[in-house]
């Protein structure tokens, strides 16, 4: 990593070997994610708080999987079941992720105690124990893979027992401080936690990021020796550095040039800071990949979203969850997509909200379209103003352009859904299906009382309430026949004018009577006052 500096290991040159890619043999990763996160003041475990739509813990787990493959253990404790579920959902065999070993730390007795719980996972089996462990905090979502690979390289090149990642901060408060030896090499002699630091140590600006590489033969034997004689009464993982140094082992360190990467999220302010940085990283990644953003600062893209080349995002577009957008799409302002897939060449106009839906190539939607889960909009279909759909499949080239609700509906190809069409899919208890065949023409203001099927090529006259199945190619019309009464309206108006006059007279009288009554009561009052 070109932006980092190796210290202590003065003999190590960064050009010794290229940063490795892929899984590293003999390496295991331990992610600590059992803590309560008191400083967040939250009912939710800290590591579950999302950063760019992804639980914080998944950043460390994802990084672990990329460097160590199937040898990743996560230590859970606070809200263990929820954290486990989030990890299960956030890692997928489909994507080629290996399963993650979950270890429970029943009592949160500190980071050293947390790591010790993972020992059984790596007990010597057929494969042998890992030669080296990468230990990650579950609350450092900004840490980059290339940094970790560089840290591993430095560890190896320095033949160190422990290698720590550090950063220089203007305000180091809250973090563990890195105490350097007085020797010429200025190696790390120990890490002192903020609450245990004396005034001199508190003035140190070099902090422990919470990312460590530790030799396999040293780690667990050192953890067994920890004691909780410190301000928090906890078993500190950081104490293994002092133990190693005391035993005359090498402790190497790598200082981050970009201290942002080392941000540990302990508070909501730090969460907001991490969010800003990750959001910018995501935007930069997609800009570099050929996506146009008219106003990047107001464009919100979650970590797992993917976007194709030459797609244009207008200001205030939000892409959430696992949304995937194809090439050459245009998304206009104030539109939000959550867990959707969108094909190529799709145009989505302003103010649309889509969730868990699938849109095929060259479809056009908006403005003001609401797609609730389970919608499929087929190729070249059109959905216009104020149309809401749910669990509905809109066939190729079909149109629902104005003011409609379509729920639990299967619509064929080339169908015209007239303005104001409503599928009445719910009887107050159960939901029912509507099926509309290819080439059907629904006139405006049609209601379809489900379950009902309209056969291919049928026409439904405007204003019809469809209560029975319509055969293919039939006309269905169900509305009261129209009657025109000549002169009726004019006579009514005349009558109304007369009636209005009478009403006006009555009103005047009432007002007059009310006034006189009021005046009478006022004068009575005045007379009473005089009498007193």
Please check whether residue 207 is in contact with residue 169, taking contact to mean a CB–CB distance below 8 angstroms. yes
Of the residues 54, 79, 137, 423, which one makes contact with ligand UD1 according to CB under 6 A: 137
Kindly tell me which of 23 and 39 has the beta carbon lying closer to ligand UD1: 39
Is 135 near ligand UD1 (CB under 6 A)? no
Instruction: List all residues 6 or more positions away from 460 whose beta carbon is below 8 Å from its beta carbon.
Output: 418, 440, 441, 442, 443, 446, 454, 466, 470, 475, 476, 477
- Nearest 5°: the CA angle 145, 148, 149 is 85
- Nearest CA to 390 out of 410, 411, 406, 369 is that of 406
Closest separation in Å from C-beta 367 to ligand UD1: 44
Q: How far does Cα 238 stand from its chain's mean position?
A: 32
- Nearest 5°: the CA angle 417, 421, 423 is 105
Please check whether residue 301 is in contact with residue 283, taking contact to mean a CB–CB distance below 8 angstroms. yes
Specify the 3-state DSSP secondary structure of 316.
coil
The secondary structure element, H or E, covering residue 365 is strand 364-365
Is 62 near ligand UD1 (CB under 6 A)? no
Of the residues 139, 302, 362, 445, which one makes contact with ligand UD1 according to CB under 6 A: 139
- Nearest CA to 282 out of 309, 263, 302 is that of 302
Question: What phi and psi values does residue 442 have, to the nearest 5 degrees?
Answer: -100, 120
Stretch that binds ligand UD1, among 236-244, 345-353, 424-432, 511-519 (CB under 6 A): 236-244
Is 176 near Mg ion (CB under 5 A)? no
Is 122 near ligand UD1 (CB under 6 A)? no
Kindly tell me which of 224 and 524 has the beta carbon lying closer to ligand UD1: 224
Is 219 near ligand UD1 (CB under 6 A)? no
What is d(CA 282, CA 65) in angstroms, rounded to the nearest whole number? 20
What is d(CA 69, CA 110) in angstroms, rounded to the nearest whole number? 26
Of the residues 230, 258, 266, 444, which one makes contact with Mg ion according to CB under 5 A: 266
Specify the 3-state DSSP secondary structure of 69.
coil
Question: What phi and psi values does residue 518 have, to the nearest 5 degrees?
Answer: -60, -45
Look up 402 and say whether it is catalytic. yes
33's contact among Mg ion, ligand UD1, none, with CB below 5 to 8 A by partner kind, is ligand UD1
Of the residues 40, 109, 139, 378, which one makes contact with Mg ion according to CB under 5 A: 139
Count, residues near ligand UD1 per rule CB under 6 A: 31
Stretch that binds ligand UD1, among 201-209, 341-349, 387-395, 408-416 (CB under 6 A): 201-209
Kindly tell me which of 79 and 318 has the beta carbon lying closer to ligand UD1: 79
Closest separation in Å from C-beta 333 to ligand UD1: 38
34's contact among Mg ion, ligand UD1, none, with CB below 5 to 8 A by partner kind, is ligand UD1
Please check whether residue 333 is in contact with residue 347, taking contact to mean a CB–CB distance below 8 angstroms. no
259's contact among Mg ion, ligand UD1, none, with CB below 5 to 8 A by partner kind, is none
Is 264 near Mg ion (CB under 5 A)? yes
What is d(CA 329, CA 359) in angstroms, rounded to the nearest whole number? 11
Kindly tell me which of 189 and 425 has the beta carbon lying closer to ligand UD1: 189
368's contact among ligand UD1, Mg ion, none, with CB below 5 to 8 A by partner kind, is none
The label of the residue with tokens 């059907």 reads 440
Is 80 near ligand UD1 (CB under 6 A)? no
User: Residue 458 — left, alpha, or beta (φ > 0 → left; ψ -120 to 50 → alpha)?
Assistant: beta
Residues of span 355-384 touching ligand UD1 by CB under 6 A: none
> Which residues bind to ligand UD1, rule: CB under 6 A?
32-35, 47, 75, 77, 105, 108-111, 113-114, 137-140, 175-176, 191, 193, 207-210, 236-238, 264, 266
Chain residues in the site for Mg ion (CB under 5 A)? 139, 264, 266
Q: Which residues are marked as active site?
A: 402
């Amino acid at each position: 990593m070109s932006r980092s500096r190796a210290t202590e290991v003065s003999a190590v040159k960064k050009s010794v070997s290229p940063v490795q890619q892929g899984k590293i043999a003999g390496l295991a990763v331990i992610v600590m994610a059992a803590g309560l996160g008191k400083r967040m003041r939250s009912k939710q475990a800290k590591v579950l708080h999302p950063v760019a739509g992804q639980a914080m813990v998944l950043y460390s787990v994802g990084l672990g999987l990329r460097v160590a493959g199937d040898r990743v253990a996560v230590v859970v404790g606070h809200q263990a079941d929820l954290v486990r579920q989030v990890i299960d959902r956030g890692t997928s065999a489909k994507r080629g992720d290996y399963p993650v070993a979950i270890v429970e730390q029943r009592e949160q007795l500190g980071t050293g105690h947390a790591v010790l719980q993972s020992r059984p996972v790596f007990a010597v089996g057929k494969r042998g124990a890992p030669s080296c462990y990468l230990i990650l905090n579950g609350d450092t979502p900004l840490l980059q893979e290339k940094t970790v690979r560089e840290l591993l390289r430095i560890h190896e090149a320095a033949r160190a027992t422990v290698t720590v990642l550090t950063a220089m901060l203007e305000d180091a408060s809250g973090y563990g401080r890195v105490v350097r030896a007085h020797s010429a090499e200025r190696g790390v002699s120990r890490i002192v936690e903020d609450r245990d630091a004396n005034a001199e140590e508190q003035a140190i600006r070099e902090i422990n990021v919470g990312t460590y590489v530790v030799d396999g033969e040293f780690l667990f034997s050192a953890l067994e020796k920890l004691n909780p004689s410190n301000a928090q009464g906890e078993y500190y993982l950081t104490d293994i550095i002092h133990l190693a140094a005391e035993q005359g082992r090498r402790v190497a360190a790598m200082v981050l040039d970009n201290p942002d990467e080392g941000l540990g999220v302990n508070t909501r302010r730090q969460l907001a800071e991490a969010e800003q940085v990750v959001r910018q990283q995501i935007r930069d990644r997609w800009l570099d990949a050929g996506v146009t953003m008219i106003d990047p600062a107001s464009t919100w893209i979650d970590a797992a979203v993917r976007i194709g080349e030459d797609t244009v995002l207008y200001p205030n577009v939000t892409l959430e969850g696992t949304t995937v957008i194809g090439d050459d799409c245009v998304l206009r302002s104030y539109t939000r997509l959550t867990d959707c897939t969108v094909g190529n060449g799709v145009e989505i106009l302003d103010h649309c909200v889509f969730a868990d839906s699938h849109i095929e190539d060259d479809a056009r939607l908006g403005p003001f379209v609401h797609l609730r889960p389970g919608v499929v909009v087929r190729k070249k279909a059109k959905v216009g103003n104020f149309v809401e759909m749910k669990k509905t499949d809109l066939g190729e080239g079909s149109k629902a352009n104005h003011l409609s609700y379509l729920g639990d509906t299967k619509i064929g190809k080339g169908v015209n859904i007239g303005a104001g069409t409503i599928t009445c899919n719910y009887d107050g208890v159960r939901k029912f299906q509507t099926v509309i065949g290819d080439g059907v023409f629904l006139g405006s203001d049609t209601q379809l009382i489900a379950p009902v099927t309209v056969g291919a090529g049928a026409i439904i006259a405007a204003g019809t309430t469809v209560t029975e199945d319509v055969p293919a190619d039939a006309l269905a019309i169900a509305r009261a026949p129209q009657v025109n009464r000549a002169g009726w309206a004019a006579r009514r108006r005349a009558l109304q004018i007369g009636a209005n006059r009478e009403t006006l007279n009555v009103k005047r009288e009432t007002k007059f009577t009310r006034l006189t009554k009021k005046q009478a009561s006022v004068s009575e009052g005045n007379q009473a006052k005089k009498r007193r």
